[in-house]
Amino acid sequence: MSGEVPSGGEATFPAHPDVDVTLRDGSTVHIRPVVPEDREALRRFLAGLSTESRIFRFFSQVKDLDAIARRFVEVDYRERHGLVARRGGEIVGHGSYALEGPGRAEVALAVADALQGMGLGTILLGHLAAAAAAAGISVFTAEVMPENHRMLTVFRDSGLPLNVRSAYGVIEVEFPTSLTEEARERFERREQLSAIAALRRFLEPRSIAVVGASRRRGTIGGEVLHNLLESGFPGPVYPVSPHPVVQSVVAYPDLERIPGPVDLAVVVVPAAAVVGVARACAAKGVGALVVISSGFAESGEEGRARQAELLEVCRDAGMRLIGPNCMGVINTHPEHPLNATFAPSSPPRGRVGFMSQSGALGLAVIDQARRLGLGLSTFVSVGNKADVSGNDLLEYWESDPETDLIVLYLESFGNPRRFSRLARRIGRHKPILAVKSGRSAAGALATSSHTGALLAASDVTVEALFRQSGVIRADTLGELFHVASLLSTQPPPGGRRVGIVTNAGGLGILCADACADAGLEVPALSEGTRRRLASFLPAQAATANPVDLIASARPEDYERAILALAGSGEVDALIVIFIPPLASHGGGIAAAVHRAATTLGGRLPVLGVFNPEDASAAPAEARVPVYAFPEDAARALGRAATWAEWRRRPEVPSWRPADARTDEARAIVARMLGEGAGWLRPEAVAAILDCYGIRLPETRLAASPEEAAEAARALGGRMALKAFGPGIVHKTEAGAVVLSLRGPRAVRTAAERMRARLAAAGIGVEGFIVQRMLTPGVEMIVGVVQDPLFGPVLACGAGGTAVEVLKDVSVRLTPLGPSEAEEMLRALRTFPLLEGHRGRPRADVDALRELVLRVGALAEDLPELAEVDLNPVIVSPSGAAPVDARVRVEARTPPPPDGAKPRRPLG
């Protein structure tokens, strides 16, 4: 869309906001910039305002609404800007600002009476402030009538620092357009409240319609209705079917004829009929839809178009949508029992919130949870995630007192940067456990730099996201359940020290090996602890760690050994193994293990390795996770220990260089984009890097071998000669670099030969780089690739010509802090080389860490830098300096703000 300024100048339509946002009640509205075609809709909007609302907005009972509507659409999107909020084809909110002086603009808002108090005014204000700041406007002003308490609340709810003063009959408000930390926190809190309200529409409805309910069991429509009726849902369930009675419940031929309101509609009809059903739901005033039907974005182009249309209907009506192509939702809370799935069984009640992106997997999850006794608080199958996403569920589960553990099966991310921020916050008090499918090369990044090659054909970005966010990643579904069983029943370990109690020495040794593989420690026990164990164990028992109670061990031996080890303070967790000898029963042993765990009262985690059937002898209130093999228990404990360590670390803010010249760097990038996207010339690369304190060795550019000789004369000493040009991507492979040259003649001869050799290979030479060589050191690589979803992906590793062979690389997502950069370096296999291997002097690791942080800040501030490649970086005792640098730029459309959903479906 675009519009013309009335004076005849062309107004450039901004890239965003053109988004859907969630209000306090969980419904949605669409926000976009105003266009000339909105004039009549704006007039209707103003006419629909109450007298009080119009007086509060215009300070009088205005008459000529058409003239005001005309003025509202006269915008240039910089000095005069306007936003409209739409629902159901009508405008329900308007916000605008107009420049009143250099860097200052007056802002005004109006919201339909029915939506006042829902947070829409604050949302409009936030988007207007972002647009104004981008246009160089730093201050907003507003005049508010003293009686207009609601508008003053809108300004205060923004979290922006207000300067408020009373004048003649008005209150004058002034505040900056840039978001403060408090403002960001307020907006995040508003997003959370909106997500909670949205999910309550699905998980706590008062009435439900099943559209496509069937009389026949064994069909999806039949099973959904049956499960709803069997779940004990306390409200009315309305089957929508051509049959008058379905499963002994009166049915209705369409939604319109249902006598009461409908909060939630579960849709089980053919894909082609779903959009029509959604329109009928909108007309009925339904608040939420669960679309189980398949045949949408997962099935091809026609399905994608159908899904987009479905989402458009939902957004226009303010309805929320789970699915399509999902298996439904479950709530096990006794006050809100609900099973709107077609699963053949229901999970037990518990404290695990489970989200599955796969419907088929959801069936397996419910079945396995039931077999393991893993209780769920809520289960949500999101399917194609057209609207409600995993991020929305994270916000809901964070505040849900019935959920202590969050488990996710993910196939894709909609907004991974928001996921990271949410997970960092939530993971401090509720563990998040995830399986992410798609580790293959199908998602490889289309890059040509060394950094891009290191990151392509892998899921290192997902691994970095989870590691930095404290998300526990399970490699398999089996491991997912193993870790979930541990964290849902036991406290997290306080460290990595493990005590092993067994009645079979061989299994104890296997368990110790598995603990080492999982990054755990099996420490030797003190003499005092060994004496305490020996005081009640048979003489043949081994009191080292593992503690071997021998085959004749009794239940009381297990119980006393567990309590002795836990009380020693020498271990942080216990793995207890029992293999029943011939003609022996394990029920008594299992009961003893559970009694001991109960006595400990959650001081440390206890894991059992014995026959799960024996666990049935344990009291119901004492639950110890039981594993078939020691390796499973060790891996689960290792995952939990890593999360517990992450949680204990203090939160460190991201780092920014105080000397960064960001505006200057942006100006250079803008100028380069004006000349065309692609790889930058060496002088532009050096200029951008210099803005962030990243400096190359002393360098001269030359257009010919003769100029290269003159550059060599000016530099002196030992020099490197490099050719550059559009066709030269990797200089070493192309034969476009010669090292250790001395004197002008040697440089000129090398340049002439290099140009001839490259010309013979059909590669054009644009010029030469003559560079003073540095003191030798460890060769590293530091680089960034801009991922379209994850943002800047920062890599550091072993560099030089063998970088892609060694593949020793550590990856993080920006922004990051000094401790994360330090951890990034220490994770490298080649880190010992930096610390001084075999008598070599220690390299300046601090300088390398700072270089990593500076490159990260550069990429975070300038998303137009598609690739940054510093290779090699020479790290010596005197510093860390890149000797070769390449930068590729491309235009980027900024993403919508957090909490706002793009107008197109997320898929």
What integer pLDDT is reported at residue 1 of this predicted model?
A: 32
Q: Are 176 and 183 in contact (CB under 8 A)?
A: no
Q: Is the pLDDT of residue 902 over 80?
A: no
Does the pLDDT at position 398 exceed 80? Answer: yes
The answer to whether residue 746 scores a pLDDT higher than 90 is: yes
Q: What is the mean pLDDT of residues 275-291?
A: 97
What's the confidence (pLDDT) of residue 360?
78
The mean pLDDT value for 6-11 works out to: 38
The amino acid sitting at 240 is V
pLDDT mean over 511-521: 97
For residue 275, give the 3-state DSSP assignment. helix
pLDDT of residue 613: 65
Q: Is the pLDDT of residue 386 over 60?
A: yes
260: which residues sit within 8 A by CB, 6+ positions away? 207, 236, 238
Contact criterion met (CB below 8 Å) for 614 and 624: no
Partners of 269 in beta bridges: none
Tell me the pLDDT of the chain averaged across its residues: 89
Cα torsion for 823, 825, 829, 835, to the nearest 10°?
Answer: -110
The least confident of 184-198, 366-380, 676-690 is: 184-198
**Model confidence at 906: pLDDT above 50:** no
| Residue 215 in this model has a pLDDT that exceeds 70 | yes
Q: What secondary structure letter does DSSP report for 582? A: T
Instruction: Render pLDDT for 549-596 as a digit per residue (tens, 0 to 9).
Output: 998 899 999 999 999 999 999 999 999 999 987 655 567 888 899 999
Q: What confidence tier does 2 reach under pLDDT thresholds 50, 70, 90?
A: very low
pLDDT at 363: 85
Give bridge partners of residue 432 from the DSSP assignment. Answer: 406
Is residue 499 scored above 70 in pLDDT? yes
Q: In terms of pLDDT, which residue wins out, 38 or 799?
A: 38
Per-residue model confidence as pLDDT tens digits over 224-243: 999 999 999 999 999 999 99
pLDDT-wise least confident of 100-114, 138-152, 428-442? 428-442
Lowest mean pLDDT among 472-481, 575-584, 703-712: 575-584
Mean pLDDT of 759-769: 91
pTM of the predicted structure, to 2 decimals: 0.84
Please report the sign of the dihedral spanned by the C-alpha atoms of residue 859, residue 863, residue 865, residue 868: positive
Torsion of CA 48, 54, 57, 58, to 10 degrees: 120
Over residues 127-140, the mean pLDDT reads: 89
| pLDDT for position 559 | 95
pLDDT bucket at 17, cuts 50 / 70 / 90? low
Residues of the chain with pLDDT > 90, as a percent, come to 68
Model confidence pLDDT, tens digit, residues 874-896: 999 999 999 999 999 998 765 55
Query: What number is the average pLDDT over the span 175-189?
Result: 78
As a whole number of angstroms, the distance between CA 38 and CA 1 comes to 12
Residue 16 has pLDDT above 70, yes or no: no
Q: What does the pLDDT read at residue 359?
A: 78
What is the pLDDT, as a whole number, of residue 905? Answer: 34
**Distance of alpha carbon 790 from alpha carbon 783, whole angstroms:** 15
pLDDT band at 4 (very low <50, low <70, confident <90, very high): very low
Residue 456: pLDDT over 70: no
The whole-number pLDDT of residue 3 equals: 32
Check pLDDT > 50 for residue 381: yes
The pLDDT of residue 426: 96
pLDDT, tens only, 620-646: 455 799 999 999 999 999 999 999 999
| Alpha helices, DSSP H, located in 135-231 | 149-157, 181-203, 220-230
